[in-house]
Amino acid sequence: MAGIVENDRARLSREAIVATAIRLIEAEGEAAASMRRISAELGVAAMSLYNHVPNKAALLDAIGEHVRAQILLPTDPDLAWEQRARVLMRAFRDVVEQYPRCIELMMARAPASLVGLEPLEYALEMAEQAGFTGRDALRVVRAFVAYAVGATTTAGHRARAIEAMQLEAGGELSEPPGIEKFPRINNLGLDLFAVDESDFEFGLDLMIQTVTQLRAGR
């Protein structure tokens, strides 16, 4: 038994444990990332994991830290707040696309630990630069985050739905029968199925313009 434990220690690392947990969470949800399941995936004794992560809470924090590190914060101190917002929201969107379940976990743990607080601090600074302070700055940040998460999640659902429709139709998209009953939708034609980068940028423009107008009216 001692020899097995020593071998586990030799081939285990915190990074390997975190990577396995992330893979399980993204595939099956947070409940799948139990210490027992992770150890089985890695082919080691469950107790060996505790040499690298003392408990489940520490593991979840480590996952949050890994995901947070993927959010590339702008480093130019001379950026206008509008440009900061664009760079930050694009970076946040990219991470939501890659880690949709883990980003939720990171955000949920932020109030109870330091995980994920660096992007929040940066975003609050951005909101202050835009002319908002205190609770209003927090509201601005929450609105931007809600947009980035919502737009990215919706785009992902739409892309998967279109892929399923294409498979069902043999590769060709067509307008559903009876669509003429809905004239505005009918006028869009196949544009109704379009998914591209410009959708996110259009919404981001609206967000920035709204914040600018709100500040001007204060």
Tokens of 103: 């980003």
- Amino acid 97: pLDDT: 92
pLDDT of the residue at 3: 44
Per-residue pLDDT tens listing for the chain (218 residues): 444 445 555 568 999 999 999 999 999 999 999 999 999 999 999 899 999 999 988 999 899 889 988 998 888 888 999 999 999 999 999 999 999 999 988 888 776 677 778 888 999 999 999 999 999 999 999 999 999 999 998 888 777 777 777 777 666 767 777 888 888 888 887 777 777 888 999 999 999 999 999 887 76
Residue 170's contacts (CB-CB under 8 Å, 6 or more residues apart) are none
Dihedral of alpha carbons 79, 136, 97, 65, sign: positive
> Would you tell me the crossing angle of helices 100-109 and 56-69 to the nearest 10 degrees?
110
DSSP 115: T
Q: What is the pLDDT of residues 146-197, one digit of tens each?
A: 999 999 988 887 777 777 777 776 667 677 778 888 888 888 877 777 778 8
Please give the structure tokens belonging to residue 11: 């081939």
| C-alpha to C-alpha distance for 218 and 212, rounded to whole angstroms | 10
**Which structural domains are found in the chain, ordered by start?**
2-54 (1.10.10.60), 81-216 (1.10.357)
Enter the DSSP assignment of 137.
Answer: H
**Tokens 């785009």 correspond to what residue?**
155
Residue 9 is predicted with a pLDDT of 53
d(CA 123, CA 81): 10
195 within 8 A of 159, measured Cβ to Cβ: yes
Q: What is the CA radius of gyration of the chain?
A: 22
The pLDDT, as a whole number, for residue 125 is 94
Phi, psi of 130 (to 5 degrees): -80, -5
pLDDT for residue 2: 44
